[in-house]
Each structure stands twice: as C-alpha cells, then as structure tokens.
Structure 1
C-alpha cells in the first residue's frame, strides 16, 4: 500500500503515540487502586450516605454490611419508588436483603477489597478454624448478583443464604413526618428458588413494583455445605415491572435458567462493559491518593447511573433504610445536578443520559408554576424537590400544612410548590445540558432537551426587569429562605448561561430565530456581579440587596462554576476578584459545595499547588467507598475530584483548549480522551516540565482554538485527512473535519 507523505508522517506519529500509550494503559493505571475495608461498616443501613462496599449496574444496587459470620446485602433498585406528589410522600424504597450466614466465621478477621477496574468485590475472612473468600459481582449486562463462596480452609463449612423482605433494620419510622406507608409485600420459595416482591399500589399517583429471586446453583436448599478448596455459587435476579405477577414471574424464570454457561457469558460481558467504560477516558498522575479518589468516584457513578428513566437520587442507588433523608429525591438547587458534572469531560455519556428524564417529565407542572406564580405562560419554574415520572416530592399537602406550616407562613411555598424563594432551580438544572451540548454538539440530544432549555430561557427573558441600562433580578433568594433578594450572584451567572445555550441550540436546530435577538440583548445587558470589600480586598457580594456573605456553602462562587461566567479569558480585575473570593471563602471541605468550589478555583487560575494540596486533604476525608466522611450527602461529591483534575489537565472553557494550564509543571501527568467543548476528544502528556504532544479527535468538524503549550516554537499539526500544517502564536486555531485525528508536536 502506498502512503502519501503527510499520511506516512501522521502514521509514524501515531505509532509513536500508541507505543507511549501502551505503557500507561487504563488497565495498568486503574488496577493500582482498590477500595479497602478493614472493619465492618458502622453506618449501614442508614437514612443518609452509607459507608459500605457499593455494587451496582445502574439499575440495581447492593450495599454490603455485617460481620464475617453474617454478611448482609442490602438491595435497592433505581426504578422502585413510592410515587405520590406531596410533601414527604414520595421516595426511593428499599427492596430487601440477602443474608449470608457462616457461623464458623465468628470472630474472624475482616478484609474486603473492591477491584475497581473489574468491578469485583472480594471479601476474605479468617479465624483459627475457617478461611473463606466471598467474591461478589453485580453483573453489568444482566440484572443479576453473583456471590461465590470459596472455602480456603481445612475444614468443611456450612452456612445458609436467605432472601428476605425488609426487616426492622431497614425501616426508619418517625411519625408524623416520616411514616411507614402501606405496601404490598410477598415472598415465597419454589423448589429452592427464594423470591420476594414489594409494591406500592394504594394512595399513590403511580403504582410501582420490584422483585428479586435467589438460589444456590445446583441445589434446591438455602443451606450450603462446602468442602475445602470447593465453592458454592449463589445468584440473585432482579426486576421492576408494571404488575406484581409479571415482576415475580420474570425473576423466578431468570433465576432458574442460570447455569455455569450462563454465568461464564455474563462474567465476560461484565468485564467487557467495565473495560470499555474505563477506556472511554483516563488520567495518570503522581498523587495516588487523589487518583484513587478520582477512580472510586467514577466507579460509583458507573454503578448507579444507567437507567434512562430513573437516575440516582441524593444517595445514589444505595437506599438501605426507608425513608431516606430528604426523601432521597432529586433536589434541584444543586444536589441533583452536581454528581453529573465530571461525566461530560470524562466522556462517560451513558452515565449522563438518565439526568434528562425527570427534568423533561416535570415540564407540564413547571409551566403551570411559571404561569401561576410569575404570569409567564411559556416558561417553566421548578420547585426544590421532584422525583421521577413527573412526581413533585415537596408539594404542599395536609402533612405540610399541619406540621411544617412555617414553610407556608414564611412564603417559602408559592401556590403549592416549595421554592424557598428561589427562582433559579430550572436554570441550575440546565447547566448540565449546556455542558453536554457544547462538548458533543449532538443533534439528537439537542432535540430532546431544547424544549426544556427554551422554556427556561423564555422564563428569564420575561422575568428580568429593566433598570436604566441593565436587566436586574428581583425576589430570587440566594440561599433557601432569603426572601426579597435583589440580583443574587448565582442567578446572575446562571441566566446568561441559559440564554447563550438557548441561542446556540436554536441555531444548531434552525429554530426560533425570531427570539434570539432578545435573548442576546438580555444576555449582554444583565446586571454586573455585586462587589464588596472584605479584609481589605474586593470580593463578590452574594446579592446586590439582601444577603452579603454566608459562612457555609459556596454560592458566592457558583457564578464561576457551574455558571461558567468567569474564566482565564475574562478581564484581569474580574479574575483577581474571583481569586480574592476563593481566598476569603476557603470552602475546600464544605458540607455542600466542595463540588463547585474546587473547579471554580481552577477556572480562575488559582494556585495549582494549593488546589492539589486541598484536593488531597479532601480525598483523605472519606469512607473507604469514597463518600465524604461524616457528610450525610451521597453522590454529589462524586464529581469533585474527577471534575477538578480534568479541568486542571485539560480545560476548554471560553472556547479555548488549554492543556496543563492550571497544573504544577514539575508534576508529570498524562490523560487520554478528555472531552472538550467543540466535540473534541483530547489526549496529552506532561513530562520533565514539557508537554510531549497533543492528540485531538474532532467528532463534529468544529474550528479548534488552542493555547499553544510551546509558545516559542512552531507547532506541527499532522492529520489523517490532509497535509501537515505549521502554525505559531500564543493562541493557535485551525479548522477540522468530522472524524479527523490530529497530532500536534513542537517544531
């Protein structure tokens, strides 16, 4: 085969790159990191974030707790909720648990490791008489859990495996605000196949069911006896369905057909799925503590977010006690949005997909509130709490009127919705749509979410008030309950973001050209960020009128991130004010807002060594499963470390790709396929204080703008589709073609 000169040179460059990449593959990197548990979990089951080993496939979830002699597998499903619109009447429910009892393991040592790359949980328990290994997997491509028990001791061991409906340890009943609602619960045993099912059918808006069936492979009993060097395999199948009988029948059938051949195929598919996931993107940095937390966080999101209609709530899929705190719902004033931040730059779009569904499903009710409360007929206005399938978890009802009437008397409830005075919830939710749009320019995605984005833009288009030569925001609380605020800084960041996204989405779809001019005018004329003096320095004020400062949370910088209104291309005085504010706030280890504080610091070029030092402290402040220590919130912190590291290694904010811009140049690092604005997948490596190469794959053929990492040299641009180019300058730009791969090297 004859190659043209430029293709030959590009091929040689790619060979060199791939030889380099082979030495630092995703498997080699991620295999270094395991979640290690040396004592039994102390906070599982619980109504908040748990400290247990976590398993999941995005549909079904398992949290493992208990002493060696009785391991409890707490079971839940993303699609199993009690669904009724009303305050404290809707929540993700528990399904049941599996109890693996091995009496001879009493007083055994406890050690569990989770292999993140293979998504395999390995427990080793030893005492003077017994030695047992238990290998657990929640299969990625089949809705089954496998529990393999291996006898590594010298004596025969006997135990049992029981599948039970939720027992006392899984119910948290604290009337009147937290009640055990009536459910339908059934269980049975058919020739060794145990099964359970739960459903909510009475006094609900939507009926729901879930079921599970368990058996010991090759046995018709729940009791197992294992000789030395032998093993027993326990399997459990899961389902959610629209009728109770179908749900039970499906899991029983699925469980009964499981044999060795089925398990071998399921295991191969499981490994292939996880290996594909890890190779969608990866990073390699010298700090093993931060890197471990990076990959543990990604593992958690992959384990709980795949069901397209039922995304994870506050605690992910791991609901271990009924009723979870905050009803485990989708809290829209940041909690629901934050876990997804890192998925876009990490190129994990399958895990981001479920985010859309509840927001789109709630639009009808959002339009009702927009019309009723703000007299804006075509906009949407969202309350603080929603659930799946259009359910409103915080709607005023008799329970609220009787026991939480302060919400109503203090005007935190408007019409029937609990808003806490905040108008920004829908705009906050839109930031993830904006991230995915600019990082993919995916037409199908844009068509799905544009009705939501347009409706939010329309709301703000008409809600903004003209004051002299600027548009202002009135009666939009910066913090929950701070009624009467003028120009809250969060909304001053979110509103331009939603208007710009609506403009660019409508342009891509060739619709709504007639309103773009007004959107653009209001985007350009919105009031500036309010300022104040604090300890002799100019910092941001939380609102122009109302709250000036807050000692908790991070709302004072969320116009930077996720609002996206300040970055390294911004005015130098604005950047200095942003850095001053970061200095004054110091909210690195915040109960709510670390997930926005760290990436905001990166966006404004805060000291890279300080960011990494604080990120290391943050990463050490965790349970072994990666959840933040003594923080009741769950998966919202899964974005903190991956998002911060991705931004430090490869930032594409403000239409400029910057590699290692906010990264200590003395620390070697590499990354593969970080997804950037413009639908570019970017890879690079830093070694001996020098960027070695930049590889760019262009999905949509957008123009590429890049800060030159070799400012005193020409940049050689090799392509698989055209002749070699030479470019120079502090900022370089070039057009690309869809599917084009480019290799950039110093001249």
Structure 2
C-alpha cells in the first residue's frame, strides 16, 4: 500500500486528539482520568452498623495494599480498626490460621454526642474526610494511609466559638473483636503490649510465637503533636495532627522499634511531602487504564472496585484475605483464608484487563508456596509423583488452613466419614482446586507475555498439567474425569463441567508457556492431544431448551452458584468465535440460570454472559441493579463474602468494551451501539493496550499499543470499510498503510503504537 504523509490531516480532529492522547500526552491523560473519577465521591451519612464483623463490613475503608483501616463509631467515639495483610496466626491445621486485628485507634470527643455524621471519600487521591456538626459547632478531619509510606495521617480542625476537648488512644482488640466460644470456636493466646515512650509516642504490638509454624508480630505507633498523654484541645484555626506508623516482623527486624522511630522522625512539616507522594501514586494508578460510560451508577462501582483493590493488594507474599485487609473481628468467616475453589481467584479477574498488574501480582505467590504440599497430596492421594493436587484451604507462605488435625477428628468426623478429607487434605471431593489456581496465572500470562513472570509460575502450571496427564482416563477417543466433584461434597461424580473446562485451559496454557520459554518441547504434543480429546461438555434439556449439565454422571443442576457456566468464564473455553451451536447452548444456560445476583459466583456469571455475546442491554440492566445492591464502600449488601465482588463490574465492562479472547481483538464487541463510550488502555491477550471511542454509533478512533511485539488479529470495527493505519514508536512515524478486510492480521513491533481510522 502507498504511504500517505498527509494522513493526519485526513484523520479528523477527534481521531487525532485520541491518537496524541494514546501516544503518552500525559497532561491530557491526567485531565481525562481526573475529570472522570472525581465525579464519584463516596458518602456515608450514618455510622456503620456491621462492624466489628466476621465478614465484610459497611464502613469507610482505607488502605495502601499493606495496612488497612476501617472507620467505625459515632462522631463522639470514632474507632479506626487496623489490620495488616501480613499479620496472621500461621499454623497448618484446621481453624488455627487466620488474619488478625492488630489494634484500634480510638478518637474520643464527648462534646460531639448527638452530632450529625458525614464521611466522604475522594477516590482520585484516596483521601477521606469527615464532618460532624452540632448546632454552631463543626469538627472535621482529613485522613489517608500513605501509598508510599506505611503510615496513617490525620488532621483535625473545627469551626465555632468554643474549643473541643478530645483524647486519642491506641488499644488492642477486646471482647467485641474476639470470639471465645470453645470448643468449636477457639481462641489462641497471643503476646501483646500497649505502652507510651518517654517522648510521648503511643505504641502497641501483638505476636503469635508459640505453637505456630511461622512466628508473626505486628506493631503500630502513634504521635499527636506535642501531646504526651493523648489529650488535645481543638480551637478554631489551630488544627491538630497525628501520625500512626505500622510494620511487622516480615518488614523489619524489630517492628516495634521501627514504628516508634518512624513517627519520631516524621516531622509534621514533612506531612506536605508525604501527602504529595501519596497523591502522585494514586494519580499514576488511575492513569493506567480508565473508561467513560453513560451509566453513572455502574461507572461509580467500577472505580470504587478498583479503589478497593489498590487499597488492599500490593504485598506480594501476603495477598488480602476473603475480606481484604479489613479484619475487624477474630476469627473471620472461613478463617479469612485463600479458598482455592474460586474465592482467592475472583478478586483479581478485573485487574488484568484494567492494566493493574501490581495489584494482581500478589495472587500467585501463595500458590507457588503450595507447590511442595501439592506434590505431597498428588503422591499420597492419587499415586501421581510429579503432579500438583491441592485441597481447598491455603494461607500465606505455604500454610494449609484446612489441614486435618485432632480437632477435625473430634468435632468434624462427618467430613472424614463422608470422604471429604483425603489423607490430611480437605478436598470436599474436588480435584479442580489446583487447576483453578492456574486460571489467574493464565490470565496474566496471556495479557503480558512477560518472560520473567512466566518462568516463576511455569513450575506450578506444569505440575498441574502433570497431574491431569496421569489422572485422566482415556476411553476410546476421549479423556474422562472420574471421582471428581462439581460442588463441594458431591463426591465421586464423572466429568464435572468445570473440570472439563479447566483441564483444557491448563493444557493450552502449559503448552504456550513452554513454547515461550523454549522448554519441554517433547511434552507439547501430548498436552495438545489431551486438550483436543477431552470429553464433550455434558448436556441436558430444561424447559424445552438444551443447556449444559453440571456433570455427565452425578449432579445435573444446582439451585444457586454459577459452576454451570465457569467453563465459559473464568476457564475461557467458549467465546464469540466458538461453534454457533455451542454458543446457543451457552445462551440457553445463561437464560435458565439467571444468576445475576448470587452469593457464590456472580463475578463469573456476568463476564461469561459477555463472552458469549449475550444481549448487552440486558447485561447492563442487571449490572446496574448489582451496582446499586451495595453498601457505600462497594461491598455487596448481605453477601457473606468480600473483595471477590469487586471484580464483577470492572471485568464485565472491560470485556464489553474490548475483548481479546480467542486471539482476536474486538472493540465494543458486546456494547449497545447507541450508548457513547470510550476507554483508555484496556489490556487484552497478546500484551496489547487498547484505547478507543464510540460516538453516535460509530467507532471514531482506535489505538493499540503492542508491548511485546506479538502478532495482532483485529476484527475490523468498521466492518468492510477501508481503514487507514499509522505506526509510530517513540513519537517517530514508522509506516502508513491502508487496510481492507473484515479481519486484519498484523505483525507488530515491541513498544509500538498502531492508530486505525476509517478511510474517507
């Protein structure tokens, strides 16, 4: 095709502005992301009621990915619950390992009793403000947990003619925060201390060092101005400031001395610099990817979900628990562990497409730490020596939270008699946990093609593949799965539909990883053979329609949960390019299940509906209802789970706006054409960052950045029209072409941008 040096002149103003924007016009990017996100202020107009709680709370939430704070209490008695991702009791035994409450910051101002309550959170700079008003008296504070330094900053001020007296205190968890109802609910004694230094620094620490597999200790220290006893007097125009630092034995050799020194060294004149760095981190975070859609309810939940994940997920060795970093009562339900039959995986689904890899990275480290235990169970339970087979409960650093113990033998003998326990592992009949653990590794691999990352996770993926190679039974020309379970406790079923999907995903992923790394070439033919010869998905008739059956022999249907469609998502085995008959069955199944609001899997149901091209208007109506059915902090109303539901809206919207599934990049593939929308840097398979705009039913511009130089297959968003493409790298024009086809097959270069617009 001939080159056209005047291409930009012909592109039109709208396309040109998007092109410049996509080519790192940083000020443009900052302005657009800030304008979108600042529209969404989170408001709490009454004190939270569900705190302390063993599951998700309804409180304002703060965090930096390491430390989390949940705000509770009325105006006169504000309580800041503090927890850390790396503060657990760590013991491989049933009900002996769980994340903990570190302590509380108690802010007392008796004069505010009866005052009105308003707490607001600005997502863009992750700053929380509170205002309590009583007559002519108004007290307010601003607080945040620094994104760059592990500390909380709070500034109090007041308006009025009088002064307000108050007191700040650090306290350890008390009766409200702990459970003591033996024998089924046990409490394990800790070591603890609360004190104040001669310089007036308050501190506390907790530790679990006896009868554990890995000792843990965490500490916090607080300083308020010149106060040595925690008392203060608020006067008009004279703010009061406090700083509280946090640490653990995993972050410093002496975490108590560390937090004390940090607050002593943190001069209050230094706070402006701390806040500036905090705001810069969040500004960069929001620029990684953003969307603009006409539904303000869904859009707000989109950004609130991403705020929540940034606030709780940055510590690579200690991912957040089921309820994030906001542990307010011990022991949290399900011991707050990393449940491997979906709960640990689901929170991260939306992070890969949202280009938040830093927040997604913590997912996989605890899985790698389970390899040795997975080898053990593969050998002991199935006789497969080189495989990985994992039970349901995991914790940090290789801890197994559901391991058989004398406690289990005494009080949960029914589990053992019911064959839910095999050897020392609590499997509930399921062989799929290890395969499920590969889901997120696969998502990150295909969206980044990062060689260093692939080297890290490949041993796990290969171990899971090795298990299935020897566990599957070849009958004729198909592989069959025996003695598995689709749902917890459905022991002994044949060909559970989830496992059929997961095994296909594992075999494809391990083969592509091995090719990418240049290893195990001799294994690829066998992996491909297994994938291509897995049993077909079982089917059944319901209400006159052919739908998927949950197993070939055993459970046929389930009244809740979403396991009947999880071979579609997250296993990723059916999509828009699949056989039309299979797509129709998938549509029928979604119609029959209708799990748009479910305690255990709505985060899979929505994206599964998108992947098969379900009616976009219907998806958005249900997603709007889902987004309204929340507490102000974004947790689902009355749902016993926590952060897993923060993936639902970002993941669904991203897939609707841009999809890279089945090696084809599609823009606005499942989106109503009459709804204007735009997105910036959605990350799709192939390590492509895609930006596009839909306006007046037409795609006005499209830019794709190729990070790794992978082959690009792009569905022409203008159908059969001719398309102009410009190729740039580091601001330099490399090539211009005219393209004409329904699908474009392109070779790309690493770090190169590709602009596409319809030709005149």
Q: TM-score range by the shorter chain?
A: over 0.9
**Cα pair 2:44 2:632 within 8 Å, conserved:** yes
**Cα pair 1:7 1:719 within 8 Å, conserved:** no
* Distance apart, 1:177 and its partner CA: 2.1
Write the distance in 1 (CA, Å) between the matches of 2:10 and 2:466.
Answer: 48
1:508-551 alpha-carbon deviations (Å, 9 max, x no partner): 00001111111110010000000000000000000000000001
Secondary structure in 1 aligned to 2:173?
Answer: coil
Write the distance in 2 (CA, Å) between the matches of 1:518 and 1:318.
Answer: 45
Worse overlay, 109-118 or 165-174: 165-174
**Aligned 1:674-693 pairs, distance under 5 A:** 674-693=682-701
**Aligned 1:82-481 pairs, distance under 5 A:** 82-190=89-197, 191-241=199-249, 246-481=254-489
Q: CA RMSD in A?
A: 1.6
Write the distance in 2 (CA, Å) between the matches of 1:353 and 1:628.
Answer: 24
Write the distance in 1 (CA, Å) between the matches of 2:331 and 2:154.
Answer: 28
Alignment partner, residue 629 of structure 1: 637
Alignment partner, residue 58 of structure 2: 51
Worse overlay, 88-97 or 221-230: 221-230
Secondary structure in 1 aligned to 2:428?
Answer: coil
Write the distance in 2 (CA, Å) between the matches of 1:81 and 1:129.
Answer: 45
Write the distance in 1 (CA, Å) between the matches of 2:289 and 2:337.
Answer: 30
**Cα pair 1:217 1:258 within 8 Å, conserved:** no
Q: For residues 19 and 723 of structure 1, do their structure 2 counterparts lie closer, same or farther at Cα, with a shift above 3 Å needed?
A: closer
Selected match of 1:488 from 493, 496, 503:
496
**Cα pair 1:588 1:614 within 8 Å, conserved:** yes
Write the distance in 1 (CA, Å) between the matches of 2:435 and 2:390.
Answer: 9
- TM-score by length of structure 2 reads 0.96
Write the distance in 2 (CA, Å) between the matches of 1:6 and 1:696.
Answer: 21
Write the distance in 1 (CA, Å) between the matches of 2:480 and 2:10.
Answer: 53
Q: Does 1:30 align with 2:60?
A: no
* Distance apart, 1:174 and its partner CA: 2.5
Write the distance in 1 (CA, Å) between the matches of 2:148 and 2:166.
Answer: 29
List 4+ stretches of structure 1 deviating above 2 A.
3-24, 217-221, 242-245
Write the distance in 1 (CA, Å) between the matches of 2:528 and 2:239.
Answer: 67
Write the distance in 1 (CA, Å) between the matches of 2:102 and 2:560.
Answer: 36
Write the distance in 2 (CA, Å) between the matches of 1:246 and 1:739.
Answer: 44
Structure 2 unaligned spans of 5+: none
Matched length = 745
* Distance apart, 1:391 and its partner CA: 0.5
Write the distance in 2 (CA, Å) between the matches of 1:212 and 1:198.
Answer: 9
Alignment partner, residue 39 of structure 1: 46
* Distance apart, 1:215 and its partner CA: 1.1
Alignment partner, residue 5 of structure 1: 5
**Cα pair 2:252 2:258 within 8 Å, conserved:** no
**Cα pair 1:6 1:722 within 8 Å, conserved:** no
Q: Does 1:655 align with 2:663?
A: yes
- TM-score by length of structure 1 reads 0.98
Structure 1 unaligned spans of 5+: none
Selected match of 1:525 from 514, 530, 533:
533
* Distance apart, 1:685 and its partner CA: 0.5
Q: Does 1:66 align with 2:78?
A: no
* Distance apart, 1:16 and its partner CA: 5.5
Selected match of 2:754 from 725, 742, 745:
742
1:311-356 alpha-carbon deviations (Å, 9 max, x no partner): 0010011111111110000000000000000000000000011111
Secondary structure in 2 aligned to 1:439?
Answer: helix
Q: For residues 245 and 501 of structure 1, do their structure 2 counterparts lie closer, same or farther at Cα, with a shift above 3 Å needed?
A: closer
Write the distance in 2 (CA, Å) between the matches of 1:661 and 1:15.
Answer: 23
**Cα pair 1:213 1:251 within 8 Å, conserved:** yes
**Cα pair 1:300 1:638 within 8 Å, conserved:** yes
Write the distance in 2 (CA, Å) between the matches of 1:417 and 1:737.
Answer: 48
Selected match of 1:703 from 702, 711, 729:
711
1:403-437 alpha-carbon deviations (Å, 9 max, x no partner): 11111000000000000000000100111110110
Alignment partner, residue 553 of structure 1: 561
* Distance apart, 1:19 and its partner CA: 6.5
